Amino acid sequence: MGKGSRSKGCCGWIIVICIAALVVTAVVLYLKSKQHHHSSATKPGSIDKNYAQALSISMQFFDVQKSGKLKNNKIAWRGDSALSDGKGANLDLSKGMYDAGDHMKFGFPMAFSATVLSWAILEYGDQMASIKELDHAQESLKWITDYLVNAHPSKNVLYVQVGDPVIDHKCWERPEDMTENRPLTQVNKTSPGTEVAAETAAALAAASLVFKSSDSSYSDLLLKHSRQLFTFADTYRGSYSKSIPEVQSYYNSTGYEDELLWAAAWLFHATGDGSYMTYVTTENGKAFADWGRPTWFSWDDKRAGTQVLLSRTSFFNTKLSSKAENVGLQKYKETADAIMCGLLPKSPTATTSRTSGGLVWIDEWSALQHPISASFLALVYSDYLLTSQTKSFTCNGESFTTHDLRNFAIEQADYILGKNPMKLSYLIGYGSKYPTQVHHRGASIPKDANTGCKGFEWLNSDAPNPNVAVGAVVGGPFKNDSYIDRRTNIMQAEPSTYTSSAMVGLLSGLVTTSSVPRTFS
């Protein structure tokens, strides 16, 4: 399938849209739905205690990964770190989150984490609130968006990396004890980075919707930066992997076209500005969207996410301003159907890339990224079908329903939570058996240890981590369903913040029995 499978070893939906017909139609459909029993004024259905527990645990990994001056810190072995980040450019880049088990701040995957976490909150904020995790999710999101705003000091400048990965990976130490130089890397007009600027634009547009009702001035600030970043990304086109060759060993981009569509789609939802819909449905859609060809959703490839996000507009019967736009929008929805058909095991076009235990398996590096992201999309799409009273969709003539998509998501989630041949939970802290040697520096070194940069004895130790990286989702199993619990097994044992964002979205959608998104309002 599509690009972006490589990785380094490393409330409710609130959309103000200007098209009155959309609002009226969606609300009418919402009220008529016989299967949907909660509204923005009522609580979701009964809570699934297992998924609720898993969600609360998953949310804690964002606290584990925080950089900066920590507030209300609930992770006993974490403390303040990287307080001087950004000072070389007179910026405060102390916040943000470390991407994985190291101490780098890579802007590309960090922004993607924020976009997906925003989407999860927008779709399933009511479910998060039902188990008192919505405030936690919003606070975690703001920790990233505060950083992203500060990393964009002028219209055509975006700081996309803090730290030197070569220096960083020569050290094994707690983030609180870092003394190494942490240089800043930027993209600008002469060294463009379209994909990272566009992904940051997407993150800030999506987050602006999250905070629209609770903090309108902050929402406006995010949207201002989002618009500027999209214009920067689109005007000065060029890959950050070419401008900054060093990133190719860590978060190499295989193209920026998908991020442009992804960002424009989010800006359309955030602003109701029809020019963004024109952007994604006409010439740029034809050139960049790969209509009709299913792809995998990841930090590097946003096409599948864009297809599903734009299908929301199709489901709720928006009539756009031109025939070309309506045709383009329909092609996004048809491609979203094709993506779903590839996921369902009984579909004629089902992917055969699965383990014997039933897990979708695409890549040996961060193997769980793809099944988690795909399951999140399947759940969202299922709920779009349900809310719009669309009874089914077809895969080469065979019909499938919302239940088929939800069951797929449940099967993948249950595998990750322990229903697998290893009887092992890949969510750290959940269940009675999970990996004990997560590839994570802070978790692997005792809080009172004085290692300096060279604490490699803790990397190479056979003992369990002294600190639990609670909420981490490790890289995952090999294709034969096996997992080797060794800290030096980076391929399988390293968690990532972007995988956790998708996991939070997936679990939030499963936490109640009536998991249906709110309509536009």
Predicted local distance difference test score (pLDDT) of residue 167: 93
Element of type H or E holding 116: helix 107-130
- 501, 113 contact by CB (below 8 A): yes
Catalytic member of 136, 152, 225, 439: 439
Residue extents of the structural domains in the chain: 20-510
Sequence letter at residue 42: T
Element of type H or E holding 289: none
Going by C-alpha positions, the residue among 248, 518, 196 that lies closest to residue 384 is: 518
Predicted local distance difference test score (pLDDT) of residue 271: 95
Mean pLDDT by 10 residues, the chain (521 residues): 39 41 36 32 72 98 98 95 97 97 97 98 95 98 98 98 95 96 97 98 98 97 98 98 94 96 97 94 94 95 97 79 87 97 97 96 96 98 92 95 97 98 98 98 95 95 98 98 98 98 97 59 35
Domain topology for 20-510: Glycosyltransferase (1.50.10)
pTM assigned to the model: 0.91
Strands of 184-187's sheet, edge to edge?
Answer: 105-106, 158-162, 184-187
38 classed as catalytic: no
Report long-range pairs for 486-493 (Cβ below 8 Å, ≥24 apart): 486/437, 487/437, 487/438, 487/439, 487/444, 487/459, 487/460, 487/461, 488/439, 488/459, 488/460, 489/439, 490/9, 490/10, 490/101, 490/439, 491/9, 491/364, 491/365, 492/367, 493/435, 493/437, 493/438, 493/439
Predicted local distance difference test score (pLDDT) of residue 43: 52
The values of phi and psi at residue 106, to 5°, are -95, 115
